[in-house]
Amino acid sequence: MSIQQGSAPFDPLRLCVYATVALLAWILGPVAVVGFAALGFAGYLRARRAGLTRSKCVLRDTRLVLSYLALIGLAGAAGIGWYVYGWLT
């Protein structure tokens, strides 16, 4: 094991964030899906209006990312509807 001098060790913060998001999605189900999709959509919409056309996201084009997030939001809303329907019947 070597010690890197002059640089801090790698901090895998994103992995902790991903695990937290996954936990919230598991606990809250489709409500979390809709919430995170809406949050992401709002962020990308604001960035697109500010001039961002290419993203670091795998989809690259912000229009594709916005479409993807909208689709996820609709799927989450359908999941909420499915749960409510199940409770009512």
pLDDT, tens digit, 9 for 90 and up, residues 1-42: 555 566 777 777 878 888 888 888 888 899 988 998 999 999
d(CA 21, CA 23): 5
* Per-residue model confidence (pLDDT) at position 40: 92
Asked if residue 33 belongs to a domain, the reply is: yes
Residue span of the structural domain in which 65 resides? 29-88
Asked if residue 15 belongs to a domain, the reply is: no
Q: Which amino acid is at 79?
A: G
Average pLDDT of span 45-59: 91
Asked if residue 6 belongs to a domain, the reply is: no
Torsion of CA 64, 65, 67, 69, to 10 degrees: 160
- The residue with greater pLDDT, 57 or 67, is 67
* Per-residue model confidence (pLDDT) at position 39: 93
Domains in the chain: how many in total?
A: 1
- The residue with greater pLDDT, 89 or 10, is 89
